[in-house]
Amino acid sequence: MKYNKLIPEEERIIVNKGTEAPFSGEYNDFFKKGIYVCRRCENPLYTSEAKFKSGCGWPSFDDEIKGSVKRILEADGTRTEIVCAKCGGHLGHVFEGEKLTKKNLRHCVNSLSIKFQKKDEEKK
């Protein structure tokens, strides 16, 4: 599989499962219409309709594009990691039961793990 070239900070997060500082990412307060794709492999992950302002400091989504995100329970059982289903790149974590949206789900995603595409740029 061919991957996009990553800068060191993107690699630290996507490949080495790091986390960017809260409120530092370009997509935290970003609400344009389009889709968010994996920065590493460009797999479509989230739509702008699923994005919401959670106040947590990272982009938040209450749903993923079907089949695009894989959940992995961390070894200590305290959190569930989310990764791109296509390339396995680290996206962040998913939380349930916070009652922030009707779906009661929050994908807490690192901005450096995703890339925004306007609606007209979506890949068919």
Q: Where are the domains of the chain?
A: 8-119
In sequence order, the β-bridge partners of residue 36 are 46, 116
The CATH class of the 8-119 domain is mainly beta
pLDDT in tens, 91-103: 999 999 999 999 9
Structure confidence at residue 120 as a pLDDT band (50, 70, 90): low
> Of 38, 84, 87, 108, which is the active-site residue?
108
| DSSP H or E stretch at residue 118 | strand 114-118
Q: Which residue has the tokens 């794709």?
A: 37
Check if 56 is active-site. Answer: no
Q: What are phi and psi of 60, to 5 degrees?
A: -125, 140
Q: What is the pTM of this model?
A: 0.92
